[in-house]
Amino acid sequence: MPAHRIKIPIGKPDIGEEEIQAVVETMKSGWVSQGEKVEEFEISFAKYCGAKHGVAVNTGTAALHIALAALDIKEGDEVVTTPLSCVATTNPIVYQNAKPVFVDVDPVTLNIDPALIKRKITPRTKAILPVHLFGHPVDLDPVTEIAEKHGLYVIEDVAQAHGAKYKGKRVGTFGHISCFSFYADKGITTVEGGMALTNDTDLAERMRMMRSFGMDESRKFHHPILGYNYKMSDIHSAIGLVQLQKLDHYIQSRRKNIEYLRERVNHPELTLPTEQDYAFSVYYVCQILVKKGRDRIVEYLEKNGIETRPFLSFIPEQPIYRKYEYNLNEYEIARNANRTGFYVSNSPLLSDNELDYLASTLISFFK
């Protein structure tokens, strides 16, 4: 391991002169709130993903909220989803006074296990909300088949999987609505922001109303439905438009990083990200499962300048979700992954020296 330690943060946005210039030009234009740049970003991002409509909002959480609200998910309804994710996945379900119903995850992908969904469907079930965790696509065919059989909506959470593909087709186009985040560490960033995609024109119009106080865009200050203040600004969209041009390069870099780390860090105590036959993963981060001693490895990495994060949240165990009295034993794989996993940076900005240092530090722990 090199004597001079390299600092490797979890991630940092790739904000260059193009993004800065786009912001300056937008600010000089005299229009900085939701306007033409937002519309341009919506059209461009929807086209990239293969969807008809994009509805830009101020966060990925807001995208999920307007998706659920537009589908009329309400009190007494149930939404089947994963217990292993950022809590932002499930909070909007609770905003609608509906109940998140959890299904354990696949032990390899750590995504929701489609084989377990059927047993959780009740007359109150209205939707399935799969999360493409860490940039690896969910096995979507069985999910959509179950939804069609039972007349359920599918809402894809694509916050970590911009550009990922399932059987050659980009994720975010399989559900009734899909939701993206453009937070600072995501596949591309608008600093803060999100977007909902759909092929349904009526749903798109409804979500556009909801993000702007429920206002009818053809009649100023006329509010036929309940809405929110979830708008994205032209400044944020200007950044997103530049970032979108870089997305394919970012994906290529992330995939090369993981390929390198898998070759270098081949140790029986560690499991690094892999890719299923049906999937084209974008490897949002480098997630690692540890057979034993995770906390000691994390401490060692942190002491050597490598920032880490735990595996997001085991949501049913969070204090605000205990009121539902979930049986935590039903989610053993997710709970175990949460306790034995962590992740490190897979930034497309990682240099060869940084990748080598990351690999060498992981290996040196076991010497």
pLDDT tens-place string over residues 171-218: 999 999 999 999 999 999 999 999 999 999 999 999 999 999 999 888
Residue 225's SS3 state is: coil
Residue 56's SS3 state is: strand
Are 95 and 120 in contact, with CB atoms under 8 Å apart? no
Residue 213, in any domain of the structure: yes
Residue whose pair of structure tokens reads 């290529």 in the numeric block: 252
Measure the CA–CA gap between 210 and 262, rounded to whole angstroms.
44
pLDDT at 216: 87
Phi, psi (deg, nearest 5) at residue 212? -120, 55
Regarding whether 272 and 233 lie in a shared domain, the answer is no
Residue 204, in any domain of the structure: yes
- Give the pair of three-digit tokens for residue 213: 């106080």
CATH number of 287's domain: 3.90.1150.10
Residue 199's SS3 state is: coil
pLDDT band of residue 1 (cuts 50, 70, 90) is very low
Q: Once rounded to an integer, what is the mean pLDDT over residues 113-136?
A: 98
pLDDT band of residue 5 (cuts 50, 70, 90) is low
Q: How do residues 16-55 score in pLDDT, each as one tens digit?
A: 999 999 999 999 998 989 889 999 999 999 999 999 999 9
Q: Once rounded to an integer, what is the mean pLDDT over residues 274-300?
A: 97
Q: How do residues 98-108 score in pLDDT, each as one tens digit?
A: 999 999 999 99
pLDDT at 2: 44
Q: Which residues contact 254 (CB under 8 A, 6 or more apart)?
A: 135, 282, 283, 284, 346, 348
**What range defines the domain where residue 203 resides?**
17-241
Average pLDDT over the chain, rounded to an integer: 96
Residue 232's SS3 state is: coil
Regarding whether 23 and 136 lie in a shared domain, the answer is yes
Regarding whether 108 and 159 lie in a shared domain, the answer is yes
Residue 90, in any domain of the structure: yes
Q: Once rounded to an integer, what is the mean pLDDT over residues 324-347?
A: 97
Q: Once rounded to an integer, what is the mean pLDDT over residues 263-285?
A: 96
Measure the CA–CA gap between 113 and 107, rounded to whole angstroms.
9
pLDDT at 220: 84
Task: Respond yes or no: is residue 186 known to be catalytic.
Answer: yes
Q: Once rounded to an integer, what is the mean pLDDT over residues 117-133?
A: 98
Tell me the residue ranges of DSSP E strands in the chain.
Answer: 53-57, 78-81, 84-85, 99-102, 125-129, 153-157, 165-166, 169-170, 177-181, 194-198, 270-271, 279-280, 286-290, 309-310, 313-314, 341-344
Q: N- to C-terminal Cα distance for the chain?
A: 11
Q: Which residues contact 236 (CB under 8 A, 6 or more apart)?
A: 58, 182, 190, 191, 192, 193
Residue 62, in any domain of the structure: yes
Q: Once rounded to an integer, what is the mean pLDDT over residues 46-75?
A: 98
Q: Once rounded to an integer, what is the mean pLDDT over residues 147-169?
A: 98
Residue 1, in any domain of the structure: no
Residue whose pair of structure tokens reads 């798109």 in the numeric block: 204
The Cα angle at residue 110 between residues 192 and 332, in degrees rounded to 5? 120
Percent of the chain with pLDDT strictly greater than 70: 99
Regarding whether 228 and 309 lie in a shared domain, the answer is no
Top pLDDT among 257 and 224 is at 257
Catalytic residue among 74, 167, 186, 292: 186
pLDDT at 107: 96
pLDDT at 6: 72
CATH number of 135's domain: 3.40.640.10
- Give the pair of three-digit tokens for residue 117: 């969904």
